[in-house]
A and B are shown apart, each in its own frame.
Chain A
Amino acid sequence: MSAYSTDKHQLRYNPYMHTEVKVPHSVLMSVESPGRYVGGEKNQVVKPIDDSIVRTVFCFPDIYEIGMSNLALQILYKVLNGPEWSSCERAFSPWPDMDKKMREHNIPLYSLETRSPLNEFDVAAFSLGYEMCFTNVLQMLDLGRIPLLAKDRTEDDPIVVAGGPVCCNIEPMADFFDAAFIGEGEEVDIEFTEVIKRYKDGGKKDRKALLKELAKIEGVYVPSLYTPKYENGRFAGFDMEDGAPASVRKRIITDLDKVDYPTRPVVPNNNVVHDRAYLELFRGCIRGCRFCQAGYLYRPVREKSAKTLCEQGMEIMKNTGYDDLGLLSLSTSDYTGLHELTDTLLEDFEPKHESLSLPSLRIDNFALELMEKASQTRKSGLTFAPEAGTQRLRDVINKGINEEDIMTSLKLAFEGGWSTVKLYFMLGLPTETMEDVEGIADLALKIEKLYFDTMREIGAKPRKPEITVSTSMFIPKPFTPFQWESQNTKEQFLEKQTHLRNMLKKHRNIRYIWHDVETSCWEGIYARGDRRLGEVILEGYKSGSIFDAWDQFFDYEKWSAILNSHGLKWEDYTQGWKTEDALPWDVIDVGVTKAFLKRERDKAYNEKITENCRVKCAGCGATCYKAGICP
Chain B
Amino acid sequence: MNAEEQLKAMTTKLHQHEYVCRGLFERKGALSYIGHLDLKAVFERALRRAELPLLYTQGFNPRPMLEFALPLGVGIDAEGDWVDVVMQVPVDPDEYVKRVNEELPDGVRVIRAVSLDEPKKSLMSVVTCAEYRIEAPGITDALLNVFAQEHVETTKKSKGREVTTDIRPLLIKPFTSSTPDRAEYMCYAGSQQNLRPDVLLNAICETTGYSAEAAAEARITRLALYGGVYPDIDSLEGLV
How far apart are A229's CB and chain B's nearest CB, in angstroms? Answer: 51
| Interface contact B37-A271, CB-CB below 8 Å | yes
Chain B residues numbered 7-31 whose CB sits less than 8 Å from any CB in chain A: 29-31
Chain A residues within 8 Å of B38, by CB:
35, 269-271
Once the chains are docked, how many angstroms separate the CA of A275 from the CA of B107?
21
Chain A residues within 8 Å of B216, by CB:
25-26, 29-30
| Interface contact B105-A269, CB-CB below 8 Å | yes
How far apart are B182's CB and chain A's nearest CB, in angstroms? Answer: 15
Once the chains are docked, how many angstroms separate the CA of A24 from the CA of B41?
26
How far apart are B28's CB and chain A's nearest CB, in angstroms? Answer: 10
Tell me if A619 is interfacial: C-beta within 8 Å of chain B: no
1/0 per residue, CB under 8 A from B, across A20-39: the answer is: 00001110111000110111
| Interface contact A321-B47, CB-CB below 8 Å | yes
Tell me if B118 is interfacial: C-beta within 8 Å of chain A: no
- Mark the stretch among B55-63, B156-164, B224-232 that contacts chain A: B55-63
Chain B residues within 8 Å of A30, by CB:
216
Chain A residues within 8 Å of B104, by CB:
42
Chain B residues within 8 Å of A269, by CB:
30-31, 34, 38, 42, 105
Once the chains are docked, how many angstroms separate the CA of A28 from the CA of B127?
29
Count chain A residues whose beta carbon lies closer than 8 angstroms to a beta carbon of B. 30
Tell me if A489 is interfacial: C-beta within 8 Å of chain B: no
Once the chains are docked, how many angstroms separate the CA of A37 from the CA of B46?
21
| Interface contact B107-A321, CB-CB below 8 Å | no
Chain A residues within 8 Å of B45, by CB:
42, 267, 320-322
- With both beta carbons as reference points, the residue of chain B lying nearest to A28 in the complex is identified as B33
Tell me if A432 is interfacial: C-beta within 8 Å of chain B: no
Which listed residue (B62, B107, B217) contacts A40, Cβ 8 A? B107
- With both beta carbons as reference points, the residue of chain A lying nearest to B105 in the complex is identified as A42
Once the chains are docked, how many angstroms separate the CA of A41 from the CA of B34?
11
How far apart are B211's CB and chain A's nearest CB, in angstroms? Answer: 11
Tell me if A318 is interfacial: C-beta within 8 Å of chain B: yes
Tell me if B197 is interfacial: C-beta within 8 Å of chain A: no
Known contacts A40-B107, A319-B49; A271/B41 CB under 8 A: yes
Known contacts A25-B75, A40-B106, A269-B105; A35/B44 CB under 8 A: no
Chain A residues within 8 Å of B48, by CB:
321-323, 352
Once the chains are docked, how many angstroms separate the CA of A30 from the CA of B215?
12
Known contacts A42-B45, A269-B42, A320-B49; A378/B33 CB under 8 A: no
Chain A residues numbered 27-61 whose CB sits less than 8 Å from any CB in chain B: 28-30, 34-35, 37-42
Chain B residues numbered 210-237 whose CB sits less than 8 Å from any CB in chain A: 213, 216-219
- With both beta carbons as reference points, the residue of chain A lying nearest to B2 in the complex is identified as A372
Once the chains are docked, how many angstroms separate the CA of A320 from the CA of B30?
19
Provide 27 A-B residue pairs closer than 8 Å at the C-beta atoms, listed in order of the A residue: A25-B216, A26-B217, A29-B74, A29-B216, A30-B216, A34-B33, A34-B75, A35-B38, A37-B33, A38-B29, A38-B30, A40-B29, A40-B31, A40-B107, A42-B103, A267-B45, A270-B34, A270-B35, A270-B38, A271-B41, A275-B41, A320-B49, A322-B45, A322-B48, A352-B48, A376-B60, A376-B61
